[in-house]
Structure 1
Amino acid sequence: MLDRRRFLLSSAAAAAAAAATPVLAGAGQTAASPEGRKVTALLDRMMQEFLAESPEFMTALGLDTGPNAAARGRLDDRSLAFVDRSFAAFRGYGAELDSIDRAALSGMDAVNYDTTRFIIDGAALADRFDYGIQAPVGGANPYLVSQLTGSYSSIPQFLDTQHPVQSVADAEAYLDRLSAFAGVLDVETDRVRRDFAAGATPPDFVLRRTGEQFAATLGVDPAQSGMTRSLARRAAEAGLPGDWAARAEQIVRDAVYPAMRRQAEVVAGALPGAPTEAGCWRLPDGEAYYRYGVLSYTTTDMGGDEIHEIGLAQVAELSARADEILRAEGLTQGSVGERIAAVARRPDQLYPNTDAGKAQLIADLNAQMAAVQQRLPEVFGRLPRAGVEIRRVPVEIEAGAPGGSYQMPSLDGSRPGAYYINLRNTAETPRFTLPTLTYHEASPGHHFQIAVALEAEGIPTLRKMPLFSGYTEGWALYAEQLADEMGVYENDRLGRLGYLQSFMFRAARLVADSGLHHKRWTREQAVRYMVDTLGDAESTMTTEVERYCVWPGQACSYKLGHTVWDRTRTAARTTMGDRFDIRGFHDISLAAGAIPLEVLERLVADWAAQA
């Protein structure tokens, strides 16, 4: 899972953006056409403007240095005025794109144009909804503050994992950002009040979960806060003189915590009158919002009924495959989900729910990742240079966080990618499920795909970003399939069961997501369906379903995206016959950067026809 909320519009040029790069055509590199150069120039200017008004994005990419070092001490503008500027600028981009002759474009020029068109059309759809995280790029987020959204959780993690502390100037910039954090919280709090008044209040269970996370953060003494300790620890490691802990503690105590309490009080105050309905259908123009959510996350324009039926059919097919393995294990009684649950409870599949047990789990993940890395040249011609680290989700936010997530490396490769695993309860992560999670989040999944795109030559910088969930999450699920095809489960029957359960999980998400937001299921209906189908712990499935409630459509991007990736490879193999080279397929698909799925299909079809 990826966080795309940083990809917001900016309205002024920034010198920090990477210069325009040569443009690819088809599978080779040629000079762009005059119209193609116009598209590239537009994409590069959009990227420059994103960077200009998103200092957090600049830090995430490692570009807040030299003449742009001042960005390191600032946070993003989250005001409604910024939102208005963003959408106004996108309308300007759209007018500029309209002046370019699409018929004159081919190869990667056409890919650039079609991708830009999708982004601009998506921004126009987002502009009609006057609540939530109103970002022209990134996906549907109807609630500004929830258990998964809001600066109260994102900024502390950003400061800890992405803001560097290697010099006194870095440490001072950290304190500047910490001071600015209080103002950001208050801006968000005002917008939350506005959204609540407009009828965009989260469900009561979302508010309760969010309140629990506020309480967990505010219950820590400011001196022991992660915001204080992160700066103190890293300043000490860098040998920086100064009492950084005391200065950070004072800001947390006197500014950040009071602002956070004000936000928590608004959230708690909405709870008595909060709705119980889980789906976004009850929001203003809610049915249209779900259609927008599906389009923005999956890059496909499917309706809720179609998604629901696809999910049910794929769950049935995958359950039959899992049943064969379970019977081979001597498990014949009960549903597939019940039997998978029985495997998950076996003592040999559980890590101790202790610090030592969790440390051993992460060590085993590292070993799995190292083993598959050795096999990657078998199926890829191009390998990324950036490394990836496995980290535990911070304890303060693990209650509402997903099971696994990925944070991309810096653009210059100075900061590695990070695969986060949630260890709130090791019973939720039995051994047989972990290999496929690693292949999804690290390599050959998210890390591999995103690092290859960041390091690719010949595409505009903006298109190196993981903007499209259907492409990136679809790839990560395809990567799980690829690992199986590489033979990683040849002597690991339960590992293959974990792989099939992962696919069942993503297919069941189609059913649950469309059930909640289109068929008007309750949260309890969705949780029960997921538990009965998959056999996972109810606590795990409750967290999952609550995630779907705040990100309508996002859960569909995995399996729908995978379906297109698999279909695209099959079509290329059919076209090319014996000339098909899986390494070439992967290289052409990944070096193009993240793109809408229909653009991916056209790109690969052209490559196969020209080969």
Structure 2
Amino acid sequence: MLNRRHLLAASAAAIGLGVNQQVAAQSPTAVQARLLYDQIFEGMLAADPLNASGLGLDTGRRAVLKTKVGDRSEAGRLGAFRPLIDARSQLKAINRQSLSGRDLTQYDTVVWFADHCAEAEKFPFVGVDSYDYPVPYVLTQLSGAYQEVPDALATKHGIETREDCEAYLARLNDFAKALGDEVARAKDNAARGVVPPDFIIDKAVAQLKALAAETGETSGLASSLGRRAQQKGLGSDWGAKAAAIVDGPVASGLAAQIALLTAQRRTAGHEASVTRGPIPAGFYEYALRFHTTTKLTPDEAHKIGLTQVADLTARLDPLLKAQGYTQGSVAQRLDAFAKDPAQLYPNTEAGRAELLAELNRQMAAVKAECPRVFNTIPRAGMEIRRVPPAIELGAPRGYAESGSLDGVRPGVFYINLRDTNDWAKWALPTLTYHEAVPGHLFQGALLLEAGDAPLLFKNLGFTAYGEGWGLYGEQLGDELGMYDAYPAGRIGWLQSFLYRAARIVLDTGIHSKGWSRERAIAYMSENVGLPQGAGENEIDRYVVWPGQACGYKIGHTEIDRLRTKAKQALGARFDIKGFHDAVLLGGSLPLDVLERVVDEWTVAQGRA
């Protein structure tokens, strides 16, 4: 999955000049729209300073952003949604009929996003987390400043000067403030009756305690600054200065969050569904629309998931038999195959290193085949790393972060290696194709190096598009022949599709049909065959991110449908490289806007 959907296509040094040149070449209405987009984008950077640092846009007139982590108070609960919400009247004042081509695509995309951001405002308990998702709970295993800030400071906050060190200390103090603001918001939500389920609180408390246990100059927060400052010859006392804040206001903030959640745990319910108590069914319906960019109802999505689970189960059956697994259900055989000792890496640091080395080999191998189906191969660096151990208990199985605008920070695919027994060797290639090449990192790098769209447009992201492309990247792995000499890998690919289809069933089952956590875990085990720990982690993720899990397979199904539609219309004129340009180079789009783009490309190809 994509950790951040901020896939921008410009260099940081050329932002001002690039915008002015673009404006000069566009129609008056397009100029009006672009200037508004730039205004919104600046507001989004101010609302999400850690993203500004990740993009390398925290210098010059934006340098103050390097001292902040973002407003986590009630006033800031909608985060980067707020500038879009505030600009809706100005967006609607633009004459849409005067726009065409890429300008119209951009306008419709931004308006779609702004309208759906505004819907979140209807629900007073909703906040926007670091993934830019509308979420019902302030503190969970996947949301809260504690979950985002430490890694962001280590990987996104650059240290080159003494001013950078001072900004780091300021950010630590702002982190402490954010922790307190989140306590206040979580208390307000509890007064409304909105409290996470008990099992979610348990995971969040475990992770908070792990972070709180890191103290002094050896803590990750302090040592990151101390080590890097010394490497740059900036002095040896920065670690001690950071430790004073870590052991003071940050420790107090973490203790307050632990105390709050511990108190809430005593009376928290066990019901998994977000549609309970004061949270109306309308919130889940909204979340489903937000993540799938469709008008599918929960019932319609549930039926799609059931159909695809049945189809993929049938496809896996003969492949498992060919591997010698003939007894039991498909899920039971997948589970048995995944537990084969020959398919597992040792659950040791050496085993983890061996696994990471194999993933890097797989990434290089598939990248070498990509010129067959892509016009452009990105130049940007791409790396594969382990999820930081401090957050791996609640973190997803894998996720990707795009690189910085200037190319200094590479795109990174993070894999959760808490337990290597969660990763059978035959399941790893498809993960590489999804998260790295030709999936998320590839997609993000192309946008870093090509195109001239407004930065706002490149800063928006849609689950169905981004994760749909990730699954399509897995499909391309098969089409490029990556499993021809490794048929077990094809089982991994189809199981990946199977559990993404099962996600639709599970997400809608939990949030619209009242499924319990236990029933959902049992469905995952009985139909997908994921290891127990991985299955539980998946279910807990759906509980706190309603609707998000449905975007993957619904997005992939639509991208694949659009390709089939274009091939049928064009016949021998269909060009897979051109199709990929049409889908990728315009950036992330709602699915109905994407269909219009592909249809226009198809018509143009037919005339060529």
Give the distance between the partners of 2:244 and 2:196, measured in 1 at CA.
Answer: 33
Q: Counterpart in 1 of 2:76?
A: 82
Q: Counterpart in 2 of 1:120?
A: 114
1:415 is aligned to 2:415: no
Tell me the CA shift for residue 220 of structure 1. Answer: 3.0
Q: Counterpart in 2 of 1:376?
A: 370
Can you list the C-alpha shifts for 1:149-185, whole angstroms capped at 9, x where unaligned?
A: 0001210011011111233322222122112211111
Q: Counterpart in 2 of 1:281?
A: 275
Asked if the contact 2:142/2:395 (under 8 Å) is kept, the reply is yes
Can you list the C-alpha shifts for 1:372-431, whole angstroms capped at 9, x where unaligned?
A: 111111111022222111111111111111110111111111110111011100000111
Tell me the CA shift for residue 276 of structure 1. Answer: 1.2
1:512 to 506, 509, 518: 506
Tell me the CA shift for residue 195 of structure 1. Answer: 0.8
Asked if the contact 1:17/1:47 (under 8 Å) is kept, the reply is no
Tell me the CA shift for residue 457 of structure 1. Answer: 2.1
Give the distance between the partners of 2:290 and 2:549, measured in 1 at CA.
Answer: 12
Give the distance between the partners of 1:344 and 1:85, measured in 2 at CA.
Answer: 41
Q: Which amino acid aligns with 1:2?
A: L
Tell me the CA shift for residue 23 of structure 1. Answer: 6.8
Give the distance between the partners of 2:446 and 2:166, measured in 1 at CA.
Answer: 34
Q: Counterpart in 1 of 2:519?
A: 525
Q: Which amino acid aligns with 2:528?
A: L
Shift in alpha-carbon separation, 1:170–1:23, aligned structure 2, 3 A: closer
Can you list the C-alpha shifts for 1:454-476, whole angstroms capped at 9, x where unaligned?
A: 33322111111251111100000
Asked if the contact 2:130/2:143 (under 8 Å) is kept, the reply is no
1:20 is aligned to 2:26: no
Asked if the contact 1:138/1:296 (under 8 Å) is kept, the reply is no
- Name the SS of the counterpart of 1:163 in structure 2: coil
Q: For residues 66-145 of structure 1, what are the structure 2 equivalents within 5 Å?
A: 66-83=60-77, 89-134=83-128, 138-145=132-139
Q: Which amino acid aligns with 1:181?
A: F
Q: What residue ranges of structure 2 are gaps of 5+ in the alignment?
A: 8-13
Q: Counterpart in 2 of 1:453?
A: 447
Can you list the C-alpha shifts for 1:206-229, whole angstroms capped at 9, x where unaligned?
A: 011111111222223333321122
Tell me the CA shift for residue 560 of structure 1. Answer: 0.4
Can you list the C-alpha shifts for 1:418-457, whole angstroms capped at 9, x where unaligned?
A: 1101110000011111111111111110111122123332
1:176 is aligned to 2:170: yes
TM-score, normalised by the number of residues in structure 2:
0.94
- Name the SS of the counterpart of 1:375 in structure 2: helix
Tell me the CA shift for residue 18 of structure 1. Answer: 7.7
Q: Which amino acid aligns with 1:488?
A: M
1:553 is aligned to 2:552: no
Q: For residues 249-288 of structure 1, what are the structure 2 equivalents within 5 Å?
A: 249-288=243-282
Shift in alpha-carbon separation, 1:216–1:596, aligned structure 2, 3 A: same
Q: What residue ranges of structure 1 are gaps of 5+ in the alignment?
A: 8-14, 25-29
Q: Counterpart in 1 of 2:38?
A: 44
- Name the SS of the counterpart of 2:564 in structure 1: helix
Shift in alpha-carbon separation, 1:134–1:445, aligned structure 2, 3 A: closer
Aligned Cα RMSD in Å? 2.2
Q: For residues 374-413 of structure 1, what are the structure 2 equivalents within 5 Å?
A: 374-413=368-407
Can you list the C-alpha shifts for 1:261-316, whole angstroms capped at 9, x where unaligned?
A: 01111111101111211011115343111111111111112111111111111111
Tell me the CA shift for residue 332 of structure 1. Answer: 0.9
Q: Counterpart in 1 of 2:3?
A: 3
Q: Counterpart in 2 of 1:336?
A: 330
Shift in alpha-carbon separation, 1:394–1:84, aligned structure 2, 3 A: closer
Q: Counterpart in 1 of 2:11?
A: none
Give the distance between the partners of 1:220 and 1:86, measured in 2 at CA.
Answer: 30
2:430 to 415, 430, 436: 436
Give the distance between the partners of 1:21 and 1:488, measured in 2 at CA.
Answer: 44
Give the distance between the partners of 1:231 and 1:89, measured in 2 at CA.
Answer: 32
Q: Which amino acid aligns with 2:19?
A: A
Asked if the contact 2:110/2:457 (under 8 Å) is kept, the reply is no
Q: Counterpart in 2 of 1:12?
A: none
Asked if the contact 2:370/2:438 (under 8 Å) is kept, the reply is yes
Give the distance between the partners of 1:283 and 1:113, measured in 2 at CA.
Answer: 38
Give the distance between the partners of 2:138 and 2:363, measured in 1 at CA.
Answer: 35
Give the distance between the partners of 2:6 and 2:508, measured in 1 at CA.
Answer: 26
Q: Counterpart in 2 of 1:160?
A: 154
Asked if the contact 1:17/1:51 (under 8 Å) is kept, the reply is no
Asked if the contact 1:312/1:507 (under 8 Å) is kept, the reply is yes
Q: Which moved more, 1:49-58 or 1:175-184?
A: 49-58
1:469 is aligned to 2:468: no
Give the distance between the partners of 1:380 and 1:88, measured in 2 at CA.
Answer: 37
Asked if the contact 1:146/1:206 (under 8 Å) is kept, the reply is yes
Q: Counterpart in 2 of 1:574?
A: 568
Can you list the C-alpha shifts for 1:345-393, whole angstroms capped at 9, x where unaligned?
A: 1111000000100011101111111111111111110222221111111
Q: For residues 315-354 of structure 1, what are the structure 2 equivalents within 5 Å?
A: 315-354=309-348
Give the distance between the partners of 2:323 and 2:82, measured in 1 at CA.
Answer: 60
Q: Which amino acid aligns with 1:391?
A: R
Q: Which amino acid aligns with 1:300?
A: T
1:220 is aligned to 2:214: yes
Q: Counterpart in 2 of 1:11?
A: none
- Name the SS of the counterpart of 2:135 in structure 1: coil
Q: Which moved more, 1:398-407 or 1:219-228?
A: 219-228
Q: Which moved more, 1:118-127 or 1:38-47?
A: 38-47
Shift in alpha-carbon separation, 1:515–1:6, aligned structure 2, 3 A: same
Q: Counterpart in 2 of 1:562?
A: 556
- Name the SS of the counterpart of 1:39 in structure 2: helix
Asked if the contact 2:464/2:551 (under 8 Å) is kept, the reply is yes
Tell me the CA shift for residue 581 of structure 1. Answer: 0.7
Q: Which moved more, 1:33-42 or 1:254-263?
A: 33-42
